[in-house]
Chain A
């Protein structure tokens, strides 16, 4: 106890190289906010799995869905004709139109094909002169209905029907009206949702489990710096993520935005902020990976289905519309689509922006209140 050397204040300068020491060196210290962001960015970039899920996965989705639902001229209508007299006649007429794929089967096989979706329409030719054609199809399937009308039209014409009024077709397949154009804003929104959940919610629970949050708390670090850095790094990660999807969709599918890219960028930042807030709230008390995964799924699933990522929310009954439009992702996707497809400006999107902003601010405030550090 008596052999204590120099006083604490000078203790560290002894036998140390000149650049060492306890004082602030001439080199300006970086602000903890920026150091925290730098640490998050480094961690992220060194995690191959994160890179895949955030950047590569959305691109795969764009390609897969873009190819699966590429717009083709209505065609490839498959028709099963029941064997019998007149069957070959029907086949000849329909096959003159390139859109039909026609085959002749016995009655059972034709029904089976219709039932299992291998044929969209089944035609029973008249067995006697006084009978007409019988069409079997699923009235809830657009393709079936379409096939029936087309086939009937061709058969009637062949039998002598004439147009009462002249009609002309003008094919219009300009960019903007295709499924891929509809899909890209949806995928952008979905990416922002996933980013907030995984990049903020999951990441924070992970840090809590590793006691890293507690360790930070044991330093003079300001809590607000930490939370702000988590949010800011999320916004930062959003930029390349969104650019990847937009560029990819533009190069391979010719998807462009009708509205200004500045407006689009602003919307995306707002969306990223909103979902960081929700991610933070999800993470605010969860103590295990299982809990946070469960909550994340419970939050994401309704939006995946009900917020219009893959198909319009108009398909849901009117009763649930108010609920759907209050989900955080719905107004965001609506706004993104309005900008990209219709060229809407910020002013026109007032209600959507307000809703997105409100979700962000309210969840962030609640998260701050409830946040548990250890």
Chain B
């Protein structure tokens, strides 16, 4: 299978005092037709990485190949075959959806009719509306339509759903899923783990400008400790004061951690853990305040890898 994107040892340092090393050696390979997710907290270097791949930024070091071509020699050819949605673009407020897409269509030697791009993102009813009258979700869908109008083989979507309500987010997932089914390669960045799990064949988790883990989401999750998470808390008693490690000897527990008065156990087989857990509680006469089991998520992976919650990581970000 050939690669849509390949980059090795990508580096980007912004000059300044002190210089900011936004990207510190990233390797990526994205298969043709795949949906690849670059995940991480704000400030991890996701946007810098994607903008280098899009040919909008010069890397400080490293090699980039897009659709088998090189930005330096074949820039215009690459441009014609990729579609881009930037993190935030404010299209002209007083143009309609249709006018905006006709304009973008005119830049490409081949592509689809603006009407078709509108239909693909479900904006038919808004085709004649000024952009300033669109909601956040509709604007984001327009951004994707503008990326699709040149009929690209490769789509770059930088945080396509950030700041959207759950309903709009689900609509965008549908649209991105459709693009994949049409055989377009997609590279997207997100800081929603759930989104990456839903959409991506493979993900790379980025933190502080480096990839700290990559692979198919399911595989990452199981590799890093159990498919399931059992989360519980105890009513006020000496049991509630035990460190998380107190529970690590229960059967099937891969790892454990405490979080705001709750205990989180990564578990391979919940049906082996649960009877043992209940038995221990009964023996000590400790009371459960809450108990929940769920599939492990990429959020759990991030915490495992970095020891930080994604949210914490966001707060640290510059």
Q: Is the CB of B183 within 8 A of A39?
A: no
Complex alpha-carbon distance, A112 and B184, angstroms:
86
Complex alpha-carbon distance, A46 and B95, angstroms:
9
Task: Tell me the minimal C-beta distance from B106 to chain A in angstroms.
Answer: 4
Q: Is the CB of B113 within 8 A of A19?
A: yes
Complex alpha-carbon distance, A210 and B150, angstroms:
22
Q: Is the CB of A218 within 8 A of B112?
A: no
Task: Tell me the minimal C-beta distance from B66 to chain A in angstroms.
Answer: 13
Q: Is the CB of B183 within 8 A of A7?
A: yes
Q: Is the CB of B95 within 8 A of A221?
A: no
A window 1-19: CB within 8 A of B: 1, 4-8, 11-12, 16, 19
Q: Is the CB of A211 within 8 A of B90?
A: yes
Q: Is the CB of B153 within 8 A of A221?
A: no
Q: Is the CB of B201 within 8 A of A20?
A: no
Q: Is the CB of B56 within 8 A of A20?
A: no
Residues of A within 8 A of B201 (CB): 1
Q: Does B270 contact A (CB under 8 A)?
A: no
Task: Tell me the minimal C-beta distance from A221 to chain B in angstroms.
Answer: 4
Residues of B within 8 A of A43 (CB): 92, 94-95
Q: Is the CB of A22 within 8 A of B90?
A: no
Q: Is the CB of B103 within 8 A of A215?
A: no
Q: Is the CB of A35 within 8 A of B103?
A: yes
Chain A: residues with Cβ within 8 Å of the partner, total of 40
Complex alpha-carbon distance, A19 and B111, angstroms:
13
Complex alpha-carbon distance, A202 and B237, angstroms:
67
Q: With A4-B33, A8-B182, A219-B150 known to touch, is A35 a contact of B89 (CB < 8 Å)?
A: no
Residues of A within 8 A of B88 (CB): 211
Q: Which of A7, A22, A218 counts the most chain B CB atoms within 10 A? A: A218
Task: Tell me the minimal C-beta distance from A135 to chain B in angstroms.
Answer: 64
Q: Does B110 contact A (CB under 8 A)?
A: yes
Q: With A24-B110, A42-B94 known to touch, is A218 a contact of B54 (CB < 8 Å)?
A: yes
Complex alpha-carbon distance, A69 and B88, angstroms:
52
> Residues 13-53 of chain B: 1 if any A CB is under 8 Å from the residue's CB, otherwise 0?
00000000000000000010110000000000000000000
Residues of B within 8 A of A211 (CB): 86, 88-90
Q: With A6-B183, A29-B106 known to touch, is A20 a contact of B116 (CB < 8 Å)?
A: yes
Q: Does A214 contact B (CB under 8 A)?
A: yes
Q: Does A36 contact B (CB under 8 A)?
A: yes
Residues of B within 8 A of A22 (CB): 110-112, 151
A window 160-215: CB within 8 A of B: 210-212, 214-215
Complex alpha-carbon distance, A372 and B108, angstroms:
23
Task: Tell me the minimal C-beta distance from B33 to chain A in angstroms.
Answer: 5
> Residues 95-119 of chain B: 1 if any A CB is under 8 Å from the residue's CB, otherwise 0?
1000100111111111111011000
Q: Is the CB of B110 within 8 A of A23?
A: yes
Q: Is the CB of A220 within 8 A of B183?
A: no
Complex alpha-carbon distance, A32 and B109, angstroms:
10
- Could you say which of B76-84, B121-129, B259-267, B282-290 contacts chain A? B76-84
Residues of B within 8 A of A32 (CB): 103, 106-107
Q: Is the CB of A5 within 8 A of B181?
A: yes
Q: Does A243 contact B (CB under 8 A)?
A: no
Extra 11 A-B pairs, beta carbons < 8 Å, given A21-B112, A22-B112:
A5-B182, A5-B183, A8-B183, A16-B116, A21-B113, A21-B116, A30-B102, A32-B107, A39-B103, A210-B90, A218-B56
9 sample A-B contacts, Cβ–Cβ < 8 Å, listed by A number:
A7-B183, A22-B112, A24-B109, A29-B106, A35-B103, A39-B92, A42-B94, A211-B88, A220-B150
